[in-house]
Amino acid sequence: MTLVSPLNESGERTLRTTLEQIGARVDAWAALLTRHHPSQLTRLNAASGTEVRVGPTMASLLSWSADAWESTGGLVNIAMLDERIAAETGAPMRGQALSRGWRLDLQHWKHEDHVHLCGGLLRRPEGLHFDLDGVGKGWIADRAAALLARLLDALAAAGEIPAWKSCFVDGDGDIAIQNRGGAETEVRIEIPRVSEATIGAIQVSGSSAGIATSGTGVHQWGGRHHIIDPHTGAPADSGIAQATVVAESAREAEAWAKSIVIGGAALIRRAEAAGVRRIVAVQTNGSIISAPALDRLDARNKYTPQSAPAADATVSAR
């Protein structure tokens, strides 16, 4: 984060405590949604029957997943855990189109003038399993960054820390950004461990924004990768090796970055029409395309997905 003036010793302690609180909240949300150890998600996937009641956190994330499915034309599909595991393990893949296959009825309660989400009723076919890794990262980053901004505003108003200009929360590559007072955050898109690999720099303005990169070069197993095309039930092969997207939120950026990798260049125009701010996509032949065009873009930089991991977004505040 960036402050308008230096911290004193008391402010440093206060800020450190605040950041630790945010980190603990992120860890708590992630623990609820992971598929890698017992969690709300693993219990949901193991539940029998076609109707399952879910709590407010799971209901909120499932609700966003349904919105992402609608806006991207079904390319964000959380009901593909079995295909993801098959890609990882080398097991046979079904190789068929995958529909959404589930629906959620939200449940609320009203207290005075406020309506609160208290959970929902999930209806799904027997044996349908969810993978929330992609959508969960952006969703967590957005919630954590919004909470951090509220806490920093309160501390600054109380005089415990100086006014602040920019902060961000990195949810395993999905980055939620908060700016104040017209500040901008510079985001450099890089390919890790590859010399002269900076693709370009983007100035992110506005009070809140999100950036995410999705690509086929990091998680690979014997020629397969983790980004599954719901239209085929197999790893995506669209001609786009990776995409970086700046949007109004980290969860939106994650959804569109993945969709562009799955759907190819045609999805760039759809993402622009949906209000995405910036897109930088790298084709499998190494060519770099952007929409709208970046002010600083070195098209001589090439990307070889077979030998290099997908790009990261490196953030610095101004």
State yes or no: pLDDT of 236 exceeds 80.
Answer: yes
**In a domain? residue 1:** no
- Separation of alpha carbons 230 and 160, rounded Å: 50
The residue whose two tokens read 């960054």 is 145
Q: Going by DSSP bridges, is the β-strand pair 228-229/234-235 parallel, antiparallel, or unpaired? A: antiparallel
pLDDT > 80? residue 143: yes
Cα 38 to Cα 316: distance, rounded to the nearest angstrom: 36
Note whether residue 113 is domain-resident: no
Preceding peptide of 38 cis, ω within 30°? no
Q: What is the pLDDT of residues 213-225, one digit of tens each?
A: 988 866 555 566 6
List C-alpha distances in Å: 110 to 63, 65, 92, 102, 252: 19, 24, 48, 26, 28
Specify if 158 maps to a domain: no
CATH code of the domain covering residue 201: 3.10.520.10
Q: What are the φ/ψ torsions at residue 78 (nearest 5 degrees)?
A: -80, -5
Given a cut of 50, whether residue 297 has pLDDT beyond it is: no
SS3 118: strand
Position 284 in a domain: yes
Ramachandran category for residue 278: left, alpha or beta (phi over 0 → left; psi -120 to 50 → alpha): beta
Most distant CA pair in the chain, distance? 60
Q: How far is CA 287 from CA 25, 242, 243, 281, in A?
A: 40, 11, 12, 8
C-alpha distance from residue 163 to each of 147, 152, 177, 182 (Å): 16, 8, 16, 13
Query: Taking the CA atoms of the chain, what radius of gyration do you get in angstroms?
Result: 20
What span, in angstroms and rounded, lies between the C-alpha atoms of 270 and 117?
31
Query: Three-class SS of residue 261?
Result: helix
Contact 40, 33 (CB under 8 A): yes
Task: Annotate 209-246 with three-state secondary structure.
Answer: EEEEEEECCCCEECCEECCEECCCCEECCCCEEEEEEE
154 in a structural domain? no
Q: 167, 141 in Cβ contact below 8 A?
A: no
> Residue 294 falls within a domain, yes or no?
yes
Question: pLDDT value at position 298?
Answer: 46
At 61 the pLDDT is 96
In this prediction, residue 197 has a pLDDT band, given cuts at 50, 70 and 90, of: low
Tokens of 29: 């949300």
**Is the distance from CB of 187 to CB of 156 less than 8 angstroms?**
no
The reply to whether 79 falls in a domain is: no
| Helical packing angle, 56-71 and 250-263, nearest 10° | 40
| Joined tokens for residue 41 | 């998600």
Asked whether the predicted pLDDT for residue 196 surpasses 60, the reply is no
Identify the band that residue 299 occupies on the pLDDT scale cut at 50, 70 and 90: very low
Taking the C-alpha atoms of residue 302 and residue 252, their distance in angstroms, rounded to an integer, is 27
User: Rounded to two decimals, what is the model's pTM?
Assistant: 0.88
What's the mean pLDDT in 175-194? 82
pLDDT attached to residue 84: 84
Residue 182 has pLDDT above 80, yes or no: yes
Under DSSP, is residue 97 helix (H, G, I), strand (E, B) or coil? coil
Number of compact structural domains in the chain: 1
End-to-end Cα spacing for the chain: 10
Rounded (5°) CA angle 130-176-220:
50
State the chain's mean pLDDT as an integer. 85
In which domain, by residue range, is 197 found?
166-317
Inter-residue contact 2 to 167 (CB < 8 Å): yes
Q: Is residue 133, in this structure, part of any structural domain at all? A: no
pLDDT at position 301, please? 44
Bridging pattern class, strands 220-221 and 224-225: antiparallel
Residue 145 has pLDDT above 70, yes or no: yes
CA 32 to chain centre: 17
